[in-house]
């Protein structure tokens, strides 16, 4: 499936790999790096940050999104994530819901260090998304 140009995918994966190097994962050792492409062509990165109180941890996807939002950017075009596992990682359910707030059809590139990748749209990963329309329903 090619939802985004191969060279753009490769750049996002490289930036996600670099961001993963900053992950703070002393408890799980599951390091995640994320790169988000915005409509203006800029790329925001993020990584997971764990906490001894596990519920206070935050995933790399939300870190990258929040950094972009803090800089006034809301037009998300694509997201890539790379984990420290050999298998392809996917966004957790909370991140899928979080990302769907801004673009429920965004392509998600899931990659590993072996050069393997898979691309799926967020609506494929999170069918029947809960959003603003559900809050307006009476």
Active site residues: 61
* Three-state DSSP state, 5: coil
Rounded to the nearest 5°, which phi and psi values hold at 120? -140, 150
- Backbone φ and ψ of 14, nearest 5°: -60, -40
């Amino acid at each position: 499936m090619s939802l985004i140009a191969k060279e753009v995918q490769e750049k996002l994966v490289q930036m996600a790999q670099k961001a993963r190097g900053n992950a703070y994962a002393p408890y799980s050792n599951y390091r995640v790096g994320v790169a988000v492409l915005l409509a203006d062509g800029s790329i925001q990165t993020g990584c997971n940050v764990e906490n001894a109180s596990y519920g206070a941890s935050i995933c790399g996807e939300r870190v990258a999104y929040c950094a972009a939002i803090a800089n006034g950017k809301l037009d998300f075009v694509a997201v890539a994530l790379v984990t420290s596992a050999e298998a392809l990682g996917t966004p957790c359910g909370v991140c899928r819901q979080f990302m769907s707030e801004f673009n429920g059809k965004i392509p998600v590139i899931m990659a590993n260090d072996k050069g393997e990748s898979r691309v799926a749209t967020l609506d494929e990963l999170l069918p029947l998304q809960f959003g603003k329309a559900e809050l307006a329903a009476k």
